[in-house]
Amino acid sequence: MPEGIFCNKKPIETQEELTALLGDTSGTQYYKEMKELDIDTKLLWTTIQNTCKSRIRTWLEICAHCGMCADSCFLYLVNDRDPKQVPAYKIQSTLGEIVKRKGNVDNEFMRMAMETAWAKCTCCNRCGIYCPHGIDVGIMFGYLRGLLYQQGFVPWELKIGAGMHRVYRAQMDVSEEEFVETFQWMVEENEEEYPGLTVPVDVENADIMYTVNAREVKHYPEDLAEAAILFHAAGENWTITSKGWEQTSLAMFAGDWAACKMQVENVYAAMERLKPKRMVGTECGHAHRATVVEGPYWAGRQDGRPPVECIHYIEWLAEALREGKLKIDPERRIKVPVTLQDSCNYVRNHGLREVAREILSYIVEPGYYREMSPNREHNFCCGGGGGFNGIGLFRPQRNKGLITKRDQILATGAELVIAPCHNCWDAIRDLEEEFEIGIKWSFLKPLVVSMLELPDHMKPEE
Amino acid sequence: MFKKILFATSATEASDHAARVAFNMAGTLGATLNIFHVLGVPTRGFSQVVLDVKTKEEVAVDGEYISWVEEEIKNYYANQLANCANCSIKASVGVPHREILRQAREIEPDLIVLGGTTGSEEDSVYKASTGSTLQRVAKASPCPILAVNRPAASFWGGLSNIVFGTDFSKASDKAFEFAFKMATSLNGELHIFHALDITPKNMGMSMPQDEIDHKIREAYKMIRSKYISKMKDFKNYSMNVWEGIPYVEIVKYTREKQADLIIMAHNSRKLDADGPKIGSNMEQVIMRANCPVISVNR
């Protein structure tokens, strides 16, 4: 059968299509149709010829199959060192084969490649730092996902996620109005406690334009309130943007290159319209990667940079604490054993390895901080990165993938895990649900808000 | 007094006492009742999947599923609904306290009646944010909230014999305005009560009796100047100041007065970091009282 009703090569473009696909609960029909889906081998090969550039071709060529990457992969480790989980094998047996066969692959092969690309690699890029040649399998899987998406072989949730970006320019069905309204609601809810609290909307030339993750708006709007409180307490001249407020990109996880471009251009347009000095994004890892690290290339920006300087939330927070814009009440610092989850997307992939540690030096009572082992750029993925967290079909594999992080956390003896990344936060939450190891987990914002020393004029009456 | 009541319910036994009060109030006062249920909390990262709090199963929620849950609620409350003129049912997904507050923002009720939680709030699904659902709703609610903890607390049925407990805070002033309005509009009795906290504090030193007597006199003065002076012709009231552990005294006093409703201010802005522990006076009163408790925040 060529194209299915739900599973096909056509991306989601309208709200109606989204609703229809969502209606196929758990993607039952979608995955059934996938088994019959034809491969457009000509398109596949043309795409490879046009987009598979020298870096990936070289990597595929020069891989010596030495196996040095094996132990770097947490999925190899938790799956009893299955040779089929060695990163080099995983990519050679999928992308390598497609290239070798000039795109002449069948349906069964594509489904195997889909499982490999989304359930055997989280694009954490850890293997890249252990390969003697510097071959980064995570990058190649990111590329393979694009080829698979084009042919319609993408997990159901990610087809929906990419569709959300196409329809709403957000990863969930949150409209521009709902975003602004929710932010205002949160400010109203907290203005008694924080007199003068506001949320400036679409202010031009502000020092900071703040962007978020749609899940905060949809499910955890307290996060928006906390962001407003901290900007307010630090005396920042900040704004949100009514258009282009979503920083994340499930399109990146899905391999929907066109949607990646649409999404990030929307954020860049906001920067160009409002001309802030800097953009600060929320505590999210992949959002930073999408908008700050990779986005400029998707948008075809020659200098490889976003229109204005973009920093991660932890960079702003560290700066505000360092410069004394935010003051911490030493009495309220964290006094339980606490550890930090380094997010792959901005630590390993963007060098921010000491920033969160600087923040912890201000907010944790000396003696209570425990490093995970390994840590910083060597840290393992949370177990749910790259879209893994959200894919129902690969839930058992994902749950197994959490074991590395569970054991890392247990070894620290920490009671609290600070995870300044939505994906990590989710994975650690799920890990507690799955294994019940008795830990708590948190973003930085609520912790810092709870220990702020407010200047007198910002204190509530009474 | 109450035209619109939002009843947030688990639609299980845990909410039965609250349901009794909610339906009774709506009936007596001719209010509309919006029965609201949060069926599941978000799970699985960015996906649309939620964890059904009752079945503990992961479900992909769509319109059909929500309608099915709404139908279940309708069946659960079939008896009460038969006599409820103006009732509506809505099920939703999300983090319970947030969705209750979102619904309150949408329909602007005069009162939120809060039922019990499905399962234990110790479950990891609730652990993601600080404090119990009650604390979080009470902290941010735009209107008073009514909580019923013990089955016995839902049996009185009346709303005319009110105890107003005060700590003389600003929030208590708001609670007084509300209590007074309620007593006048329902033509009931109002008992104004302050409990002087004599729990040993400074290295276990208990308060000398002279100081207690003095503070009691001061409290009576406060009651007169803050509240009685504003009650004009309203005569059906009493006032008392007792010393002890505040929540115990309030509960004792309510029993003594055979009151059917307690009104207090929810002062605490802080949420218990250690999860859903019952911390404040307010929550202790809710736990122990023999009648419903209304918390007024603003």
pLDDT tens-digit map of A177-217: 999 999 999 999 999 889 999 999 999 999 999 999 999 99
> How long a stretch of residues is chain A?
462
B248: closest CA of chain A, how far (Å): 26
| pLDDT at B277 (0 to 100) | 40
Q: What is the pTM of this model?
A: 0.91
Q: Do A25 and B129 touch (CB under 8 A)?
A: no
B55: closest CA of chain A, how far (Å): 15
Question: Computed from CA positions of residues A45, A51, A53, A59, in that sequence, does the dihedral angle turn out positive or negative?
Answer: negative
Domain at A39-153, CATH class: mainly alpha
Considering only CB atoms, B44 lies closest to which of A218, A250, A390, namely: A390
Q: How far apart are CA A37 and CA A3, in angstroms?
A: 6
List phi, psi (to 5°) of B54: -85, -50
Q: Do B170 and A436 touch (CB under 8 A)?
A: no
| pLDDT at B118 (0 to 100) | 64
Contact assessment for residue A409 and residue A422, using Cβ atoms and an 8 Å cutoff: no
Q: Compare all CA atoms of chain A with the CA of B60 and give the residue at the minimum distance.
A: A25
Q: Do A215 and B46 touch (CB under 8 A)?
A: yes
Q: Is the pLDDT of residue A165 over 70?
A: yes
Beta carbon pairs, A and B, within 8 Å: 81
Q: Do A220 and B125 touch (CB under 8 A)?
A: no
| pLDDT at B271 (0 to 100) | 53
Q: Compare all CA atoms of chain B with the CA of A394 and give the residue at the minimum distance.
A: B44
Q: Compare all CA atoms of chain A with the CA of B171 and give the residue at the minimum distance.
A: A462
Mean pLDDT of the A250-274 span: 98
Helix H, strand E, coil C: the string for chain A is CCCCCCCCCCCCCCHHHHHHHHHCHHHHHHHHHHCCCCCCHHHHHHHHHHHCCHHHHHHHHHCCCCCCCHHHCHHHHHCCCCHHHCHHHHHHHHHHHHHHCCCCCCHHHHHHHHHHHHHCCCCCCCHHHCCCCCCCHHHHHHHHHHHHHHCCCCCHHHHHHHHHHHHHCCCCCCCHHHHHHHHHHHHHHHCCCCCCCCCCECCCCCCEEEEECHHHHHCCCHHHHHHHHHHHHCCCCEEECCCCCECCCHHHHHCCHHHHHHHHHHHHHHHHHHCCCEEEECCCHHHHHHHHHHHHHHCCCCCCCCCCEEECHHHHHHHHHHCCCCCECHHHCECCCEEECCCHHHHHCCCCCCHHHHHHHHHECCCCEECCCCCHHHCCCCCCHHHHHHCCCCHHHHHHHCHHHHHHHHHHCCCEEECCCHHHHHHHHHHHHHHCCCCEEECHHHHHHHCECCCHHHCCCC
Asked casually if ipTM beats, i.e. exceeds, 0.90, the reply is no
| H or E element in which residue B18 lies | helix B16-29
- What part of A 254-293 touches B (C-beta under 8 Å)? none
- Percent of chain A predicted with pLDDT > 90: 95
Q: Compare all CA atoms of chain B with the CA of A462 and give the residue at the minimum distance.
A: B170
Q: Is the pLDDT of residue A162 over 80?
A: yes
pLDDT band, residue B146 (cuts 50/70/90): very high
| pLDDT at B123 (0 to 100) | 56
Pull the structure tokens for residue A23: 């209606």
Residues of chain A with CATH 3.40.50: 330-450
B60 touches chain A (CB under 8 A): yes
Residues of chain A with CATH 1.10.1060: 39-153
Q: How many CB atoms lie within 10 A of CB A269?
A: 15
A440 touches chain B (CB under 8 A): yes
CATH topology of domain A330-450: Rossmann fold (3.40.50)
Mean pLDDT of the A275-284 span: 98
- What part of A 384-403 touches B (C-beta under 8 Å)? 384, 387, 389-392, 395
Identity (one letter) of the amino acid at A266?
Answer: N
Among A6, A16, A25, the strongest candidate for a mutation testing the B interface, having the largest count of B CBs within 10 A, is A25
Mean pLDDT of the B72-101 span: 92
Q: How many CB atoms lie within 10 A of CB B242?
A: 18
Among B43, B44, B46, B172, the strongest candidate for a mutation testing the A interface, having the largest count of A CBs within 10 A, is B46
Q: Is the pLDDT of residue B124 over 70?
A: no
B128 touches chain A (CB under 8 A): yes
Specify the 3-state DSSP secondary structure of B160: coil
Question: Which positions in chain B touch A440 (Cβ < 8 Å)?
Answer: 127
| pLDDT at A309 (0 to 100) | 98
Q: Which candidate, A91, A77, A155, places its Cα nearest to that of A123? A: A91
A448 touches chain B (CB under 8 A): no
Distance of CA B203 to the CA centre of its chain: 34
Q: Is the pLDDT of residue A372 over 90?
A: yes
Domains and CATH numbers, chain B: 4-129 (3.40.50.620), 155-296 (3.40.50.620)
Q: How far apart are CA B215 and CA A347, in angstroms?
A: 59
Q: Do A390 and B47 touch (CB under 8 A)?
A: yes
Q: Is the pLDDT of residue B170 over 50?
A: yes
| pLDDT at B41 (0 to 100) | 82
Q: Is the pLDDT of residue B264 over 60?
A: yes
Mean pLDDT of the A145-159 span: 98
Q: Do A390 and B46 touch (CB under 8 A)?
A: yes
Contact assessment for residue A294 and residue A334, using Cβ atoms and an 8 Å cutoff: no
Mean pLDDT of the A437-441 span: 94
> How long a stretch of residues is chain B?
298
Q: How many CB atoms lie within 10 A of CB B136?
A: 21
B15: closest CA of chain A, how far (Å): 24
Pairing state of beta strands B161-165 and B261-265? parallel
Pairing state of beta strands B293-296 and B145-147? antiparallel
Q: Is the pLDDT of residue B275 over 50?
A: no
Q: How far apart are CA B172 and CA B161, in angstroms?
A: 18
Mean pLDDT of the B88-104 span: 94
B73: closest CA of chain A, how far (Å): 22
pLDDT tens-digit map of A294-327: 999 999 999 999 999 999 999 999 999 999 999 9
